């Protein structure tokens, strides 16, 4: 995602048994080692070490439960010292991560090896992984970081990385020397533990019964914590405790844990005359910036000896910032004592008298009282997370999710969680606090140094802009704030030596903290220049959605134009076109190349948009920019596949979405066929390990490009489920969190980039919204197994829209926006709506223009491409497919029957593994042929059975067909569409379909790099990677075939109660059945 150079680093787990698991494929047809950086091996714990739980939401043991009626995730398994269970609370100005058992500081521990090192966050800080809290824009200025990209740039100035503040949420209970905290004996609370995240209320709560050792009493404890949605400076914790079995003497402790205040230094700290305490601090290297953290405790409950107040000290990593206050408490059997703390936080970046602000906000919350403060917080979150703001996969009649579709339930949970995790890191427009941008991990993690990358502009902002436009300015204003520095970047002597950028041209640095200057982690020259066009495109997206011409003209246009001057300078005449040298595309496995396709395409797109804006507004148009936009040197192979960069070979492995981004969101390619072929080629090249946002683009693009099959849903599964971590459905950067077996990446979590990518799938994929086409343009298609989809309300051209889909039709309704900062481009009149469909050949896009009035609903037919069979008369395509065994994350059973050879089922091991296809809705008929596309990993044995039985002891009970499999070497020399290992078996005799079709595969022929293993007797043998074979596509051809949309045909437009749209003659909308015509930027 963000670390451009994934350099080798030592394992964080010390010396332990290494089982080399080289995840390269059995030949080099799809690239060399999947992650070409480090060799891979499985982390095996010492015999007496616990290891880590299976965090994946796909794990057999479910670590969380979901209340779909109230949008609450719950966990009953208390854990500590492991980062996936920590959870963030934030409001876009202040944020903090809290532990699994309560609102406390926690630090990761090595769970695999006694002598192993402590887990760390990875590049560029490589600091200990722990809960983190901070304030927006609270950046330190440090001379050097452990990790960098261009160390020679260290001489230009400091590295700006996020600094921490003391962990401020803690309210602890102590009985004798035992403290309810992360270091407690977890067995003392396991029997009665429940942790909840309420996504509608923005509250984290814990309920447990604590049984301290040596006592005959137990304590019922309830804790609630929040970071206030409206009061930007305020957070709070409430602890309720009830003694059972007798009276108890204990201590209540209000604590600031200084260990969270990394890269900060103490100003002052102390206790005030009332029940308040405070800490002030400065980010390292920033003595002129001061933050204040103040807590006011409410202990007046009749059980507390308020005269016993005293100061508390504790561990602080040497920064002397830990401080607390505690009181003696006498709990009475059966009586509930309530304790509260109200925290005020401010920094001089936004509040000149930060100490006074923090103190007053803490005191005001204390005076208002818990109920008042938390009520306003909950009300705001309920509005943000109202049902119409969140995409729903539920049946609109019953309100229920599909039965026996666990994947859809998990995707529904993610639709809620992803929205929440992004929103809690944003401030609304007009708050005065909305110019800090959003880091990869938001305000609750220092992953990637808390710096800004293209992640915020290209991956997070589109979903927020589409669904919550009044929270989207934060992404852009952060870049506007850095514009003066970006302009200075182009005038640096070493930059001018390379390119003669004119005055006013702007180059944004790859990473940005407080300043946006070029640094060793974030160069502005000779690296990922696309960051500039990413920012420029995000500005035009904002204009398209909001219609806020004044804001665009005043704030965004100067920035866009400055970027345009830099892009113009970077494009160098080369033959008949224009090239860019010494650059890196988003694929950071391949650095410092020439003519990165995505970078050139984004440059072309941006220059075209600039020229169009100038024409629309009567500004002078730079004809040179028009010419350059139309003539960028995007190179192609002989096969017509777009080369990611000039000179690319076929064994390249792609780190993340790159060329596929030219399909979405650039909409660059002139023809569907070109888009389709590039998608197929590069989808085979992606690293399976991550990062998490990559396959969201594949899902979106596939639903737009596919000619048959339902693999858009398979790709959505791959984009989301392998990266979601129980219990709180936070996104991990990697599909596999073990840095040793994923190639050395310590995954970011929460990975908000992945959340942003996932939220784009329903709107841009299934509804098919395309921005920057003048008018609102959609191309709806809802492939199986999805039956219903209610798109979260979205915005375009200053209007709000509501769309509901079923398998065959889509209703779209125009609604008043009622959001500040939106300007209706069609106020008091109908607006054009463009519906795209494919022609009968599937090669061209046809467009029909409709006119939609305010509060009018129009019903349109969906693109039904998925009803087409990839293999004629295949009985299995898009039928429900499941397995009782374990599969590799991202390679689900349904991938074998989705009509797409590019998605694959892969069992976890090479032991005999089954998938069962439910063919109970398929007409009973004779099966005449079996066909398989295995991909590059072929099994040694495959067996197929047709049966009506569900209680088979083994596949042999159904008299299976045993298939001969003969793999062949696959070509690897030319960049061309993938050709797979295939098996076609013509069935002789009578074999009839049944209610179930079973495929069993076993072994894997020559899979993975071989590793020498030496036996005790001295014999050496060679072992492969041990993972299962692929099944790219499994087809059973029947005599009469199957109708994939049987049962859906009856759902007519009239029954959906929409108004059939009337085609209108609208020149602006290019009305009625016009095929796409070529233009270099893919624009109209």
Distance CA 1079, CA 629 (A): 10
What is the pLDDT, as a whole number, of residue 304?
98
What number is the average pLDDT over the span 48-63? 87
Distance of alpha carbon 339 from alpha carbon 298, whole angstroms: 6
Residue 16: pLDDT over 50: no
Mean pLDDT of 219-228: 99
Q: What is the pLDDT of residue 936?
A: 86
ω before 67 within 30° of 0 (cis)? no
Listed range (567-571, 683-687, 844-848, 929-933) with the worst mean pLDDT: 683-687
**Residues 1045-1071, mean pLDDT to the nearest whole number:** 42
Confidence at residue 1017, expressed as pLDDT on a 0 to 100 scale: 54
CB of 595 closer than 8 Å to CB of 646: yes
The more confident residue out of 697 and 839 is 697
Q: Which of 636, 639, 708 is nearest to 977 (CA)?
A: 639
The size of the chain, in residues, is: 1084
Per-residue pLDDT, 641: 94
For residues 77 and 125, give the distance between their C-alpha atoms in angstroms, rounded to a whole number. 31
CB 99 within 8 A of CB 106: yes
In 190-272, alpha helices (H): none
What is the distance between the alpha carbons of residues 517 and 925, in angstroms, rounded to a whole number? 69
pLDDT category of residue 980 using cuts at 50, 70 and 90: confident
φ, ψ for residue 695 (rounded to 5)? -75, -10
Nearest to 326 by CA among 252, 390, 264: 252
Q: Which tokens belong to 966?
A: 């003969």
pLDDT of residue 628 exceeding 50, the answer is yes
How many other C-beta atoms lie within 10 A of the C-beta of residue 172? 23
Q: At a CB cut-off of 8 Å and minimum separation 6, what does 1020 contact?
A: 1012, 1013, 1014
The strand pair at 159-162 and 171-175 is best described as unpaired
User: What is the spatial distance between Cα 731 and Cα 747, in angstroms, rounded to a whole number?
Assistant: 10
- Alpha-carbon distance of 159 to 519, in angstroms, equals 6
If residue 827 lies in a helix (H) or strand (E), which one and from where to where?
A: none
Q: What is the pLDDT of residue 111?
A: 85
Residue from 558, 572, 493, 497 nearest 529 by CA: 572
Residue 994 pLDDT grade (very low, low, confident, very high; cuts 50, 70, 90):
very high
Burial class (CB in 10 A: 0-12, 13-18, 19+), 70: exposed
Mean pLDDT of 1014-1033: 71
pLDDT digits (tens, 9 = 90+) for 939-952: 999 999 999 988 88
As a whole-number percent, the residues of the chain with pLDDT over 70 amount to: 90
182-196, 840-854, 903-917, 962-976: range with lowest mean pLDDT = 962-976
257 - beta bridge partners? 167
What does the pLDDT look like over 491-543, one tens digit per residue? 999 999 999 999 999 999 999 999 999 999 999 999 999 999 999 999 999 99
In this prediction, residues 227-254 reach a mean pLDDT of 98
Using alpha carbons, select from 7, 82, 14 the residue that is nearest to residue 43: 14
Residue 1065 is predicted with a pLDDT of 37
**pLDDT confidence band for 1053 (50 / 70 / 90):** very low
CB within 8 A of 923, min separation 6: which ones?
1038, 1040, 1042
**Nearest partner of 85 among 113, 117, 53, judged by Cα:** 53
- Whether the pLDDT of residue 1074 is over 60: the answer is no
What's the CA gap between 299 and 254, in Å, rounded?
10
Instruction: Give the residue from 494, 518, 514 showing the smallest Cα distance to 506.
Output: 518
pLDDT digits (tens, 9 = 90+) for 301-338: 999 999 999 999 988 888 999 999 999 999 999 999 99
Question: In terms of pLDDT, which residue wins out, 45 or 362?
Answer: 362
> Could you tell me the sign of the dihedral formed by the alpha carbons of 851, 854, 857, 863, in that order?
positive
Q: Is the model's pLDDT at 749 over the cut of 70?
A: yes
pLDDT of 899 over the 50 cut: yes
Intra-chain end-to-end CA distance of the chain, in Å: 32
> How far apart are alpha carbons 698 and 834 in whole angstroms?
24
Provide the token pair at 192: 């009665």
Answer yes or no: is pLDDT of 726 > 90: yes
Say what the pLDDT of residue 36 is.
53
Q: What values do phi and psi take at 458, rounded to 5?
A: -100, -25
Q: From CA 1011, how far away is CA 1008, in angstroms rounded?
A: 9
Q: Is the pLDDT of residue 1043 over 90?
A: no
Q: Quick check: helix, strand or coil at residue 243?
A: strand
**pLDDT for 631-667, tens place per residue?**
999 999 999 999 999 999 988 888 888 999 999 999 9
Residue 1019 — pLDDT band, cuts 50, 70, 90? low
Domain with CATH 2.60.120.260 in the chain: 881-1047
Read off the pLDDT of residues 415-463 as tens digits, 9 standing for 90 and up. Answer: 999 999 999 999 999 999 999 999 999 999 999 999 999 999 999 999 9
Distance CA 860, CA 96 (A): 46
pLDDT at 580: 98
131 or 958, which is more confident: 131
**Peptide bond before residue 124 is cis, with ω within 30 degrees of 0:** yes
CA atoms of 47 and 596, how far apart (whole Å): 49
Q: Indicate the pLDDT class of residue 974, thresholds 50, 70 and 90.
A: confident
Cα–Cα distance measured from residue 792 to residue 775, given in angstroms and rounded to the nearest whole number: 20
Look at the alpha carbons of 642, 644, 647, 650 in this order and tell me if their dihedral is positive or negative. Answer: negative
Cite the beta strand spans of 674-787 per DSSP E.
Answer: 724-725, 730-731, 776-778
Identify the pLDDT of residue 1071: 29
pLDDT at 377: 99
- Cα(665)–Cα(186) distance, rounded to whole angstroms? 48
Average pLDDT value for residue range 190-215: 95
d(CA 190, CA 197) in angstroms, rounded, equals 18
Q: How far apart are CA 875 and CA 930, in angstroms?
A: 10
Q: Where in the chain is the domain with CATH 2.70.98.40?
A: 78-115+126-131+167-385
CA separation for the pair 405, 887 (Å, rounded): 16
pLDDT at residue 979, as a whole number: 78
In DSSP notation, 127-179 reads PBPB--EEETT-EEEES--S--S-GGGGGG--EEEE----B---EEEEETTEE
Question: At residue 109, does pLDDT exceed 70?
Answer: yes
Q: Which of 6-20, 135-149, 401-415 comes out lowest in average pLDDT?
A: 6-20
Which stretch of 19-23, 251-255, 267-271, 284-288 has the lowest confidence by average pLDDT?
19-23
Q: Which CATH architecture has domain 881-1047?
A: Sandwich (2.60)
Q: Is residue 327 reached through a cis peptide bond, with omega within 30 degrees of 0 on the bond before it? A: no
Average pLDDT, integer, range 873-899: 94
DSSP letter at 554?
Answer: I
In Å, what is the CA distance from 118 to each residue of 114, 122, 123, 260?
10, 12, 15, 16
Mean pLDDT of the chain: 90
pLDDT, position 727: 97
d(CA 167, CA 104): 7
Residue 480 pLDDT greater than 60, yes or no: yes
What is the assigned CATH class of domain 78-115+126-131+167-385? mainly beta
C-alpha–C-alpha distance, residues 917 and 894, integer Å: 9
**Cα of 8 vs its chain's centroid, Å:** 25
1010 pLDDT above the threshold of 70: no
Residue with tokens 């098919």: 768
Q: Strand 1059-1060 and strand 857-861: pairing?
A: parallel
Residue 1055: pLDDT band (50, 70, 90) is very low
Give the start-end residues of each E strand in 869-925.
Answer: 881-882, 913-918
Note the pTM of the prediction, 2 decimals.
0.92
**3-state SS of 293-324?**
EEEEEECCCCCEEEEEEEEECCCCCCCCCCEE
Q: What proportions of the chain, in percent to the nearest 5, are helix, strand and coil? A: 25, 25, 50
Instruction: Find the helix or strand (DSSP H, E) in which 198 lies.
Output: strand 193-198
pLDDT of residue 1049 exceeding 50:
no
Closest listed residue to residue 141, CA positions, set 517, 439, 447, 523 = 517
Dist CA 515 CA 141 (whole Å): 10
> What would the pLDDT profile of 167-202 be if each residue is shown by its tens digit?
999 999 999 999 999 999 999 998 889 999 999 999
What 8-state DSSP symbol labels residue 556? Answer: I
- The distance from CA 796 to its chain's CA centroid, rounded to whole angstroms, is 23
> In 3D, which of 702, 767, 717 has the Cα closest to residue 901?
702
What DSSP designation does 181 have?
Answer: S
CB neighbours of 626 closer than 8 A, spacing ≥ 6? 607, 608, 611
Is residue 532 within 8 Å of residue 499, measured between CB atoms? no
What pLDDT was estimated at residue 668?
92
**What's the pLDDT at 1044?**
77
């Amino acid at each position: 995602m963000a670390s451009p150079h994934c350099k080798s680093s030592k394992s964080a787990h010390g010396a332990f048994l290494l089982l080399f698991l080289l995840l390269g494929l059995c030949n080099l047809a799809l690239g060399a080692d999947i992650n070409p950086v480090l060799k891979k091996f499985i982390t095996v714990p010492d015999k007496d070490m616990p290891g880590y739980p299976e965090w994946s939401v796909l794990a057999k043991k479910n670590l969380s439960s979901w209340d779909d009626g109230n949008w609450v995730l719950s966990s009953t398994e208390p854990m500590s010292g492991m980062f996936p269970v920590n959870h963030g609370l934030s409001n876009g100005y202040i944020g903090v991560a809290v532990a699994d058992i309560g609102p406390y500081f926690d630090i990761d521990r090595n769970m695999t090896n006694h002598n192993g090192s402590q887990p760390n966050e990875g590049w560029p800080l490589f600091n200990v992984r722990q809960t983190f809290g901070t304030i927006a824009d609270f950046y330190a200025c440090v001379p050097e970081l452990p990790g960098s990209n261009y160390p020679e740039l260290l001489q230009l100035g400091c590295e700006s990385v996020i600094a921490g503040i003391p962990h401020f949420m803690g309210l602890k209970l102590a009985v004798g020397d035992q403290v309810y905290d992360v270091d407690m004996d977890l067995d003392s609370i396991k029997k009665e533990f429940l942790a909840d995240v309420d996504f509608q209320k923005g509250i984290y709560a814990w309920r447990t019964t604590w049984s301290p050792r040596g006592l005959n009493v137990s304590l019922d404890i309830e804790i609630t914590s929040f970071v206030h949605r409206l009061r930007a400076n305020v957070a709070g914790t409430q602890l309720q405790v009830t003694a059972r079995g007798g009276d108890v003497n204990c201590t209540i402790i209000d604590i600031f844990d200084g260990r969270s205040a990394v890269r900060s230094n103490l100003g002052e700290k102390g206790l005030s005359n009332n029940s308040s305490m405070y800490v002030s601090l400065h980010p390292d290297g920033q003595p002129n910036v001061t933050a204040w953290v103040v807590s006011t405790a409410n202990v007046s409950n009749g059980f507390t000896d308020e005269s016993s107040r005293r100061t508390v000290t504790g561990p602080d990593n040497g920064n002397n910032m830990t401080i607390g206050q505690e009181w003696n408490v006498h709990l009475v059997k059966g009586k509930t004592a309530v304790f509260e703390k109200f925290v005020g936080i401010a920094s001089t970046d936004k509040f000149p008298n930060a100490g006074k602000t923090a103190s007053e906000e803490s005191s005001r919350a204390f005076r208002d009282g818990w109920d008042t403060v938390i009520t306003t917080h909950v009300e705001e979150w309920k509005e943000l997370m109202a049902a119409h703001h969140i995409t729903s996969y539920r049946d609109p009649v019953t309100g229920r999710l599909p039965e026996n579709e666990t994947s859809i339930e998990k995707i529904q949970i993610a639709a809620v969680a992803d929205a929440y995790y992004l929103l809690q890191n944003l401030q609304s427009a007009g708050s005065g606090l909305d110019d800090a941008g959003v880091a990869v991990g938001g305000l609750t993690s220092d992953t990637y140094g808390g710096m800004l990358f293209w992640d915020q502009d290209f991956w997070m902002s589109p979903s927020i802009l589409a669904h919550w436009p009044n929270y989207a300015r934060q992404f852009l204003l952060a870049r506007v704030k850095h514009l003066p520095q970006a302009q200075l970047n182009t005038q640096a002597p070493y930059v001018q030596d390379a390119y003669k950028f004119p005055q006013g041209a702007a180059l944004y640095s790859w990473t940005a903290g407080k300043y946006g200057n070029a640094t060793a982690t974030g160069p502005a020259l000779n690296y990922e220049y696309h960051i500039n066009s990413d920012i420029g495109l995000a500005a035009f997206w904002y204009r398209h959605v909001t219609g806020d011409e004044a804001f665009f003209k005043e704030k965004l246009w100067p920035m866009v134009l400055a970027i345009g001057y830099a892009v113009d300078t970077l494009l160098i005449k080369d033959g008949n076109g224009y090239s860019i040298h010494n650059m890196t595309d988003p694929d950071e496995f391949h650095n410092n190349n020439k003519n990165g396709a995505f970078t050139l395409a984004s440059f072309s797109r941006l220059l075209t948009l600039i020229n169009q804006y100038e024409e629309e507004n009567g500004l002078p148009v730079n004809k040179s920019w028009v010419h350059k936009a139309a003539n960028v040197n995007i190179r192609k192979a002989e096969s017509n596949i777009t080369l990611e960069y000039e000179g690319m070979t076929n064994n390249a492995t792609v780190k993340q979405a790159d060329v596929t981004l030219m399909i979405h969101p650039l909409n660059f390619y002139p023809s569907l066929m070109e888009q389709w072929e590039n998608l197929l080629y590069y989808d085979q090249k992606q690293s399976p390990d991550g990062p998490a946002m990559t396959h969201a683009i594949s899902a979106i693009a596939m639903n737009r490009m596919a000619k048959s099959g339902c693999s858009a849903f398979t790709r959505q599964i791959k984009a989301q489920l392998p990266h979601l971590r129980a219990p709180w459905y936070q996104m991990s950067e990697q599909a596999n969190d073990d840095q040793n077996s994923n190639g050395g990446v310590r995954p970011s979590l929460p990975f908000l980039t992945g959340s942003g990518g996932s939220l784009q799938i329903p709107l841009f994929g299934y509804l098919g919204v395309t921005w920057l086409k003048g008018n609102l343009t959609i191309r709806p298609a809802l492939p199986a197994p999805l039956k219903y989809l209610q798109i979260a309300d979205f915005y375009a051209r200053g209007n709000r829209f509501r769309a509901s889909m079923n398998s065959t039709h889509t209703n779209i309704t125009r609604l008043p926006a009622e959001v500040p900062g939106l300007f209706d481009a069609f106020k008091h009149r109908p607006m054009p709506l463009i519906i795209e469909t494919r022609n009968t050949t599937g090669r061209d896009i046809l467009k029909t223009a409709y006119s939609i009035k305010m509060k009018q609903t129009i019903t349109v037919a969906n693109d039904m491409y998925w009803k087409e069979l990839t293999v004629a008369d295949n009985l299995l395509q898009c039928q429900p497919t499941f397995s009782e065994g374990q599969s590799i994350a991202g390679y689900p059973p349904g991938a074998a029957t989705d009509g797409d050879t590019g998605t694959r089922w892969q069992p976890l091991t090479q032991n005999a593994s089954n998938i069962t296809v439910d063919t109970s809705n398929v007409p009973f008929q004779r099966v005449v042929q079996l066909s398989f596309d295995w991909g590059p990993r072929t099994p040694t044995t495959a067996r197929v059975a047709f049966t009506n039985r569900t209680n088979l002891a083994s596949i042999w009970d159904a008299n299976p067909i045993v298939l001969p499999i003969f793999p062949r070497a696959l070509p690897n020399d030319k960049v061309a569409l993938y050709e797979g290992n295939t098996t076609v078996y013509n069935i002789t005799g009578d074999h009839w379909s049944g209610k179930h079709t079973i495929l069993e595969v076993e072994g894997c022929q020559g899979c993975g790099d071989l590793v020498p293993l030496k036996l005790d007797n001295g014999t050496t043998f060679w072992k492969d990677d041990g993972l299962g074979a692929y099944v790219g596509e499994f087809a059973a051809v029947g005599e009469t075939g199957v109708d994939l949309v049987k049962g859906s045909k009856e759902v007519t437009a009239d029954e959906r109660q929409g108004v059939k749209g009337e085609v209108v003659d609208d020149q602006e909308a290019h009305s009625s059945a016009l095929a796409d015509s070529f233009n270099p930027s893919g624009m109209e």
